[in-house]
Chain A
Amino acid sequence: MKRIIDSSFLPLHHSSIFLLCLTSQSLSLSDYILNLPVILTLYIDTQCTHSLLCLYVSSRKREKSRMDQLLVNEASFTVAINQSSYSLAELLSSGMGGGGGGLGLRMGSLGDDGSGVGEVGDVSLEQSTVTYQSVSRGGNGGGKRRRGVVNFIEDDSSKLVSTSSDNHDLNESNGKRMKASGSRDEDRGSKTEAETNPLNSIKSIEEKSKPEPPKYYIHVRARRGQATDRHSLAERARREKISERMKTLQDLVPGCNKVIGKALVLDEIINYIQSLQHQVEFLLMKLVAVNPRLDPAIEGFPIKDVAARSFDANGTMYKSQAPEECGQGTQTEWPPLQVGSGFENEKHDWESR
Chain B
Amino acid sequence: MTTTHPKNPTTHPKNPTTNPSSVIRTRFAVRFLHAMKKLNKKTPPSRRYHTIRAAACASMASAVGPRRAWSRAILRKIRARTLHDHLIHKSRNHRLITRRKSAGLRGNPRDQEEVGFRQEDDLRGLVPGGEGMGFCRLLSETAHYIKCLRAQVQVMTNILDHYSSS
Contacts and interface: CB of A to CB of B under 8 A. Distances in A.
Interface of A: 238, 241-242, 245-246, 248-249, 252-253, 262-263, 266-267, 269-270, 272-274, 276-277, 279-281, 283-288, 290-295, 297-298, 301-311, 313, 317-320, 322-323, 331-332, 334-344, 346-350, 352-353
What is the interface of chain B mostly: helix, strand, loop, or mixed?
helix
A303 to B, nearest CB: 6
17 contacts: A241-B136, A252-B146, A263-B119, A272-B146, A273-B146, A274-B126, A283-B153, A284-B49, A298-B37, A302-B162, A304-B15, A308-B15, A309-B155, A313-B150, A320-B158, A320-B162, A337-B38
Nearest to A272: B146
B56 A284 contact: yes
Contact of B146 (A253, A302, A337, A348): A253
B11 to A, nearest CB: 8
Contacts of B115: 262-263, 266
Contact of A266 (B12, B54, B119): B119
**7 closest Cβ contacts across the A-B interface?**
A320-B161, A245-B139, A266-B119, A307-B26, A306-B158, A283-B156, A276-B149
Contacts of A252: 143, 146-147
B75 A346 contact: yes
B13 to A, nearest CB: 7
A339 B164 contact: no
A242 B135 contact: yes
Nearest to B34: A337
Nearest to B61: A346
Contacts of A283: 153, 156-157, 160
Contacts of A306: 29, 33, 155, 158-159, 162
B142 A353 contact: no
B30 A280 contact: no
Interface string B80-115: 011000000000000000000000000000000011
Interface string B125-166: 011000000011001101101110110111111111111111
Among A285, A287, A349, residue most surrounded by chain B Cβ atoms (within 10 Å): A287
Contacts of A339: 35, 38-39, 42-43, 51, 54-55
Given A334-B34, A335-B3, A353-B1, A285 B114 contact: no
A306 to B, nearest CB: 4
Contacts of B39: 291, 339
A342 B82 CA distance: 10
B83 to A, nearest CB: 9
Nearest to A273: B126
A343 B79 contact: yes
A210 to B, nearest CB: 27
A105 B2 CA distance: 62
Nearest to A322: B165
Given A308-B16, A320-B162, A338-B38, A298 B33 contact: yes
Given A266-B115, A349-B5, A352-B1, A311 B153 contact: yes
Contacts of B119: 263, 266-267, 270
Contacts of B153: 276, 279-280, 283, 311, 313
A54 B25 CA distance: 59
Contacts of B139: 242, 245-246, 249
B123 to A, nearest CB: 6
Given A248-B140, A273-B149, 10 more contacts: A266-B115, A270-B119, A280-B153, A283-B153, A291-B39, A308-B15, A308-B17, A313-B150, A320-B165, A322-B165
B163 A297 contact: yes
A107 B152 CA distance: 54
A352 B155 CA distance: 27
Contact of B163 (A290, A304, A337): A290
